Amino acid sequence: MDRIQAMTAFLAVVDADGFSAAARKLGVSPSVVTRAVTELEERLGTRLLTRTTRFVRLTDTGRVYAENCRRILADLEEADSTAAGAHAAPRGEFTITATVNFGAMHVAPVVREYLSLYPQVSVHCWFIDRNVNLVDEGVDVAVRIGELPDSSLQAIRVGRVRQVLCASPAYLARQGVPRRPEDLSQHTIVTATGLTPTPELRFANDLKVRVQPRMTTTTNESAAAMAIAGFCITRLPLYQIAPAVRRGELQLVLEQFERPALPIHVVHREGRNASSKIRTFIDMTVAALRKDASLQ
C-alpha cells in the first residue's frame, strides 16, 4: 500500500475509533487497515496509536501526525480539483459542528443554501452541546459560542450572544415591569438549567440575585413557551427568542443590567490552505451570521 493510501487508512481508524469500523468505511478488510497502519509506524519508527481490546487512541506523536496527514490529503484533493478545472465548483464532503439550538436555527439554513448551490458536496452536521475537538474527531468547521482557548485553529468572529430576561406583555401588565434585578424576587421565574444551573441570576458588575424558580427545565424552548404564554419571566439567548420579540410576543426587561455578551466565532483548522469547499462554506457562513441582527 502506498503512503497516501496508508495515511487515508490511518485517518479512517482515528475518525472511526477502531480498525473494523475504518475497514467498513473504506470497503476493505480489517487486516488491510491494520497492515497499513503497522507499515506507517514501522516507516516512522514510532507508535501512532495505542491499541487495547477496548479502544484505540492516538499517541502524542500520532495526534500531530494525524493533523499533518489531514493537511496533506486536503492539499492533494485541492490540487486534483484545480487540475481538473473544478476549483470554482467545490466537491467532496466535510463535517461541521455547533450547539443544538444554534445549529438548528442559524447553521442549518446556511448548509441548506450551500448544498443547493454545490450539488457535488455532502455535509455532515454535528449539532451537539459539547465542544468537539476538531483535530481528534476529524471535524472541519465549528461555530463556537464563548471565549476561545489559545490554539492553532483559525477563528473568525462573526457576532455575539446576549443572555436576556424576557416576559410577555400580558405578564408585565399584570405583574409589573421589574426595574432592578432585586425586583425579580417578587416575580414568577422559570429557568433553563443549561443557562441557570443554580438558583442565582447573575448580572453585570458581579451582581447576583437569588431566585426560587417555579419551574426548571432542560430545554430553552419550553422556557420560552412558558414566557410567551404569560406565565413567567425567563432568561434565554436573544437569538432564540428574537422572532417572538419581533412579533411582540415577548418583551425584554432589565437590559441595562445584562452581563457582557458572549462572542461567536467560526473556527476551522485548515488555515490559508483551506480547500475550496471549506473556504466557500466559511465565507457563506460568516456573511450569513454577520448579517443577522439578533447576533450583533
- Distance between CA atoms of residues 39 and 42, nearest Å: 5
**HSE (side-chain half, CA atoms, 13 Å) at 167:** 22
Instruction: pLDDT band for 84, please (50, 70, 90 cuts).
Output: low
Describe the crossing of helices 3-16 and 60-83 by its angle, rounded to 10 degrees. Answer: 120
What percent of the chain stands above pLDDT 70?
Answer: 93
pLDDT in tens, 158-206: 999 999 999 999 999 999 999 999 999 999 999 988 666 667 899 999 8
Q: How crowded is residue 12: how many other Cβ atoms within 10 Å of its Cβ?
A: 22
pLDDT in tens, 118-129: 999 999 999 998
What pLDDT shows up at residue 249? 98
Instruction: pLDDT band for 17, please (50, 70, 90 cuts).
Output: confident
- Distance between CA atoms of residues 108 and 279, nearest Å: 17
What's the pTM? 0.68
What percent of the chain stands above pLDDT 90?
Answer: 59
The answer to whether 121 and 114 have CB atoms below 8 angstroms apart is: yes
Domains of the chain by range and CATH?
3-82 (1.10.10.10), 88-161+262-295 (3.40.190.10), 163-257 (3.40.190.10)
Q: What is the mean pLDDT of residues 4-12?
A: 90
Residues 6+ apart with CB under 8 A from 216: 190, 191, 192, 193, 196
Q: What is the mean pLDDT of residues 80-103?
A: 79
pLDDT in tens, 42-70: 989 999 998 877 778 899 999 999 988 88
Alpha-helix residue ranges (DSSP H) falling in 127-275: 134-137, 169-175, 220-228, 238-246
